[in-house]
Structures are given as structure tokens and as C-alpha cells.
Structure 1
Amino acid sequence: MKEKEVVYVVSDSVGETAELMVKAVASQFNGGEVEIDHVSYVEDVNDLENVIIASKCTNSIIAYTLVIPTLKDYLDNRSKEEGVMAIDLMNPLMEAFAKTFNKEPKREPRLIRKLDANYFRRVEAVEFAVKYDDGQDSRGIQRADIVLIGVSRTSKTPLSMYLAHKRYKVANVPLVPEVRPPDELFKVSKNKCVGLVITPDKLNEIRKQRLKNLGLSVAKYADLDRILEELEYAEKIMKRIGCPIINVSDKAVEETADLLLAMLKKRGVGYRE
């Protein structure tokens, strides 16, 4: 079986420039069948170290657009140490600009977004929602405009993506009795945190359907006693934070979003329309 070919698109911004260049090059090889894995909004060397390790273990290339010198130097040096192919897509042209036009670059990420602030804010929000979905990285809690909390299957991810298209940066955190919530959750302003709840019967129905779709018939995940335990635990966390709570039992994502934004508007989080 042929090993899949992967290109890690690494950027301290959205990464659109790198993705377009990778696709243009890939189109010259067997129809452009290559997997593109985004690593956007790189902020420190830990983000880079993770992608270097992942690249070392796969048949892959790192294509990057990093304008912050310390991040670029780290990626260049570590990729050489690990024998990983890392291609700089931006700096050669930037250096040509500097030499030919006798100007120094600002070396600040995301400046291009000023060309179309609303469009790029939306793209940034979507990337943010993906990066900080399902409690993957607790750093997103402090950086988010809105933080959603709730048990599994309360529409946290769909709601996060819907709000992202309205240009809100949303992080969501699952509440599970066996897993201690991140400390950042109790430090965030309650004015931007929203709890999502659902009736036990409705959640039971949703989880049973989820298991059916996965080809599973029996699981504690859909057990009613387990659901009651989770909901009780989640309610305690929400009360501790003091955040508003929305019951999503019979609401479409759009309806929940409108209600959520109206609630947050009263608390000082304004609309971005």
C-alpha cells in the first residue's frame, strides 16, 4: 500500500498563501493528490516541535510562511537536525524586496488581513474554532471572544463554527465528571462564557443515534443514569462559573446562536455584524 503524501502548511497567520502555493505545485504531479494538514497561528516553538515530530514520522514536507525570525530560525534548525524537509515560501521573496527596494520588512504576521478586515477576521475565527475545539488547547479559553461549555452532544462544535462565520473567536470545552476542567475556565470572565444544557431524554436519544451511526449498540455513553450524572456535574461547574445557561433541547443552531448573542450583548459582548 502506497504511503500517503502529506504537506504540513505551517504559518503564524491563516496559512492561505502557503496552501495556494502547495496546491499549485501539487497540481503538476499526478493531479495534485496530496494531503494538506494545516498548522495555523503558530505562536511558539512547541507548535513547531509538534509538526516536526509528526513530519519525521510520515512521508511529508513542511511548507511554511513564518515572518517572525525566531520561529523561522527554530524551524530551519530543528528540521535540519531531524532530517525533515522544510521549505520557506515567503522569506526568499521578502529578502529580494529588501535588497532591491532598500526597505526593511516589518516581520509582523497577519498584516495582509488589513486588505479585507472582515473576510480575514472570519477566516481567523474559523481557524480559531478548529484549533480550540473540544478543549484541545486550554490556551484558547483566555483568547476567545466566547467560551462554550457543556456535556458531549450539546452542539458545542456546530455552534462554535456558526459563530465563527459571524467573526467570533469561540473555544469550547467538554465537561466530563472524570476529567478536571482546565484552570483557565475558572479565570475567564463569566460575561463571555455560556453553558449549554439539554434534557436527559433528548440527550439519550441523540447519543443512541450517534452510537447507531457508529455501528455500536451498547455503551455507557448513552446510558440514562450516566447522562444524569454528567448533566448534574456540568450544572455544578456552570453555577461555579456563574455563566448564563441555554437549553438547546429543541433549538436549531441558528436559534441558539441568536439567543446566545442577545444574552452576551447585555453582558457587554457586542455584535460583529
Structure 2
Amino acid sequence: MADTTALPWLARRWLLRGNPQLDTFVNVGAKDGVHEDPLYTLLLNPGDVRFSLAVEMNHEFCLQHARNLPHVLLLCMKATKSTVPDIVAQLPEWLRGQKRPALDLPSLPRLDVLKVDLDGADCDIAAAFLWRVLAKFVVMEVYDGVPPPLRFALHDSELLAWPPAAPWGCSLSYQVRLMKQFDLELVWYGAGNAIFAHRFAAQLLGLPSPLDEADCYAKSVLMTMWPSGRTLRRWFYEESLNETFVEVQASLTKRLENLTFTLDA
């Protein structure tokens, strides 16, 4: 489940504060382009889209996406660290890198929005893309089953099969630490989804940022396939960080078996 209202709200606020309309998008893990996709309302009108690229590995979803959003460039392929350069190669040259606006304002990325929702090695793919092309806003699915301040990420490997068994993706604290490398700050979180804004874009939005991920986590509805709600409450509220870390690490090792993951605190 994804909140499909937060990104359109941010896009409206961005426009109302005198900024150019958000009209360039990359959607990695696009599915049919409609169902529970936070980009859908921004992509619906072809006249509002200067450039958009969607990446989806499922053939049936690709067919549906092509019918639903024919004006969006569609790549029917698996997103991995090794295929990210192929994805980036589909972007026009003017979208890559950064631009320097007039009046000596801080530098903003040219790409408006990157969305990554793969139920796999999401943070690896997002990082591989952002090292090549920055974005003003990044929308990420969050794996809520590993609470702050623990930083969990499932990593890209040939052993990573579809559909995956939970847990997948990466935790909120891992994302916050990762996005700092790209000057991206947490500006919204809820129901297993997070939005990060480039620090200069966050200033132009006029929102308080960065948000505290532990505070966000404590006050939001959590969406997780594993572990149980009772276990998650114990990990976040009841046990010491050291006790939680040891138990989470053992649980992940047993559950993920041969898959590569990171767990830090």
C-alpha cells in the first residue's frame, strides 16, 4: 500500500511557492503505472509531462503500463545495479547532472522525481542511480519491519529471486543515512513510504526538515509483512538497543539465509 496523496500535495506546494512545475520523472518498479502509484496523478495528463521514464520487469504489468500511460517511455527490464547505466542512458542529456539557476541560487538537480519501489534491493538501485543522476525529490518504499535506529538493507545479488520473501528493501534509518550522501533530507513518511527532498528543494518548499525518523516512525501507521506487530513493538519500545540488535540480526540471518544484507545501528 502506498500513500498516493503526499507527492501530489508536495508538487502543488512546490508550484504555489513560485517554482516551475514538476514535469520530469523516473519510476523504477512502475507496475501498471496506476495502482497505488504516487506518480500517477502527476503523469496522467501528457501535457504536464516533459519527460518520464518507467522501468518494470513484469511483462503483464508492462503491457498494462503501455496502455495506461502511452506517453511515458517504458523499459521492460529488471532493475539491478548492473542495469542502472542502461536505465540512465535512456534519459536525455539535458536531464543529467545539475544546473545553476539564475541569481546565484543554490544548485538544484535537473530531474524532478525519482521513485523506487522494487520489493528487492531498493536502496542499492536508488544509490546506483543517484550517483549518476540526482533528483530534487526521491520517493522510496520503506521496509517498516526493522525499526529506527537500526539500518537494514537487502543487497543486490543473483540469488535475489522474485517474488521475494519478507523482509526486502531497506529500513527508514538506512534510507536517511544513505540519502545524506546526496544532500537529500527526509520531508515526509507514512504507511511504509518516504519522500526525500534535495536540501535546496526543501528550502524552496518551506517545510521543516530534515524530519526525525524515529519520531516519524513512532507516530505513523506501520506497514510490514514481517515480523509480527507484537515483536516489532518489543523491538522498538521495550528492549535495549543492544538486545534488539542481536535479536534482529539473528532473525534476519535465519530468514534471509544466503541473501546478502546489512544491519547497523
- Superposition TM-score, scaled by structure 1 size: 0.35
Structure number with higher helix proportion: 1
Q: With CA pairs under 8 Å and 6+ residues apart, which has the higher RCO, 1 or 2?
A: 2
* Greater gyration radius: 1
Structure number with higher strand proportion: 2
